[in-house]
């Protein structure tokens, strides 16, 4: 006769195991994964997700369907993730703006940035680069400042949405340099690039991977970068900090997230898979060639970064008096 107590314990343990694996029996994942990009194609979020996609699919053993869901400064797509079941079949590549900066400014906030997201792993970081169209009279950063000051309220600048890093960086520079420019937000960086290339946007402070191919091809003119140190991809390009604004530092990080309450076993599966993807020579080379500082680490590292930058940019927004109209 089979003892009843082990059978009872096994019956009690089965639901717990299923919950830990996203409500599905057997090893996770057992079906394709929906991966949200909260901006239009062509931006840094899209670039890094698609660079990692092949290796992640191999590591996870399932297809990873990428869906661009742009709108509301990235919060439309991230909101879809926060409302999804925490079963490991809906995740996203988010940014500092979509997950830490914009949501608290909205009324009402679309999600709680700490409760409704599970930070999984930092995928990468990029500097912003200041670019102008080829037909611009501006030749360097000093010339841009002089041109903007001579034409108050006449120059415009692009972003991928209100309170995104592009917007914050431009507003911070405007405040420090005493500039008056018109903000033109788009639904994603890709749309902004089209307008810059066409000469309808006067200046952009946007992610390096987005503009690096256009800079190398001579389609736009780069005049500065926004990190404290010069970057390896454009070593001759000065920083905003060294051009008269000491301490000026702006970057964008990209992080894989899931819904709040994502089970630890699923989170750790993604951490392991992403660290291996980031270490894969071809993917690593592709990211570095595109202008990304490769990420990695643990879910605890990602959670600490999310919390730290949420607090840091809350102070920046108060000081710059940025509002969502």
Three state DSSP letters for 93-109: EEEHHHHHHCHHHCCCC
Based on the domain organization, do 115 and 155 belong to the same domain? no
Domain end point (choices 243, 278, 306): 243
Q: Report pLDDT for 3.
A: 46
CB neighbour class for 30 (10 Å; exposed up to 12, middle 13-18, buried from 19): middle
Domain end point (choices 211, 243, 275): 243
Contact between 121 and 279 (Cβ < 8 Å): no
Q: Report pLDDT for 190.
A: 83
The whole-angstrom separation of Cα 141 and Cα 179 is 13
**Non-local CB neighbours of 310 within 8 Å, separated by 6+ positions:** 100, 101, 104, 113, 114
CATH code (residue 100) = 3.40.190.150
Residue ranges of the chain with pLDDT lower than 70? Answer: 1-26, 325
**CA neighbor of 227 nearest in space, from 319, 293, 320:** 293
Q: Report pLDDT for 325.
A: 63
Task: Name the token pair of 323.
Answer: 């509002």
Q: Report pLDDT for 7.
A: 39
Conformational region of residue 73, where left means phi above 0, alpha means psi within -120 to 50, and beta covers everything else:
left
Helix (H, G, I), strand (E, B) or coil at 172: helix
CATH code (residue 206) = 3.40.190.10
For residues 194, 199, 203, 204, the Cα torsion angle rounded to the nearest 10 degrees is: 10
Based on the domain organization, do 142 and 187 belong to the same domain? yes
Q: Report pLDDT for 243.
A: 97
Q: State pLDDT tens for residues 234-274.
A: 999 999 999 999 999 999 999 999 999 999 999 999 999 99
Q: Report pLDDT for 5.
A: 42
Based on the domain organization, do 45 and 76 belong to the same domain? yes
Domain end point (choices 243, 268, 285): 243
Based on the domain organization, do 110 and 259 belong to the same domain? yes
Based on the domain organization, do 117 and 131 belong to the same domain? no
Q: What percent of the chain has pLDDT over 90?
A: 77
Domain that holds residue 167: 127-243
Q: Report pLDDT for 20.
A: 42
* 3 is a domain residue: no
Based on the domain organization, do 175 and 97 belong to the same domain? no
Based on the domain organization, do 270 and 305 belong to the same domain? yes
**Non-local CB neighbours of 125 within 8 Å, separated by 6+ positions:** 251, 252, 253, 254, 292, 293, 295
For the chain, how far is it from start to end, CA to CA, in angstroms? 72
The whole-angstrom separation of Cα 166 and Cα 211 is 13
**Non-local CB neighbours of 2 within 8 Å, separated by 6+ positions:** none
* 18 is a domain residue: no
């Amino acid at each position: 006769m089979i003892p009843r107590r082990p059978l009872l314990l096994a019956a009690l343990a089965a639901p717990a195991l299923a919950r830990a694996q996203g409500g599905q029996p057997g090893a996770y994942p057992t079906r394709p994964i929906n991966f949200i990009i909260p901006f239009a194609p062509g931006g840094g979020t899209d670039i890094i997700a698609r660079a990692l996609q092949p290796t992640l699919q191999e590591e996870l053993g399932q297809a990873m369907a990428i869906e661009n869901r742009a709108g509301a400064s990235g919060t439309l797509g991230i909101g879809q993730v926060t409302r999804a079941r925490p079963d490991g079949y809906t995740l996203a590549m988010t940014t500092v703006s979509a997950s830490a900066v914009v949501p608290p400014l909205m009324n009402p906030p679309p999600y709680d940035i700490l409760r409704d997201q599970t930070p999984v792993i930092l995928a990468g970081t990029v500097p912003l680069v200041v670019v102008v169209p080829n037909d611009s009279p501006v030749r360097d950063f000093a010339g841009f400042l002089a041109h903007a000051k001579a034409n108050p309220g006449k120059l415009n600048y692009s972003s991928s949405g209100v309170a995104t890093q592009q917007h914050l960086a431009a507003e911070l520079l405007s405040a420090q340099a005493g500039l008056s420019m018109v903000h033109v937000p788009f639904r994603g960086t890709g749309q902004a690039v089209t307008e810059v290339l066409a000469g309808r946007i006067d200046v952009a402070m946007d992610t390096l991977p987005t503009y690096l191919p256009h800079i190398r091809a001579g389609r736009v003119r780069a005049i500065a970068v926004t990190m404290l140190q010069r970057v390896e991809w454009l070593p001759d390009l000065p920083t905003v900090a060294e051009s008269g604004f000491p301490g000026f530092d702006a970057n964008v990080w990209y992080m894989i997230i899931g819904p709040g309450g994502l089970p630890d076993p699923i989170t750790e599966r993604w951490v392991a898979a992403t660290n291996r993807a980031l270490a894969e020579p071809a993917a690593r080379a592709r990211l570095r060639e595109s202008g990304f500082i490769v990420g990695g680490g643990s879910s605890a590292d990602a959670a600490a970064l999310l919390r730290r930058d949420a607090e840091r940019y809350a102070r920046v927004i108060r000081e710059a008096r940025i509002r969502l109209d």
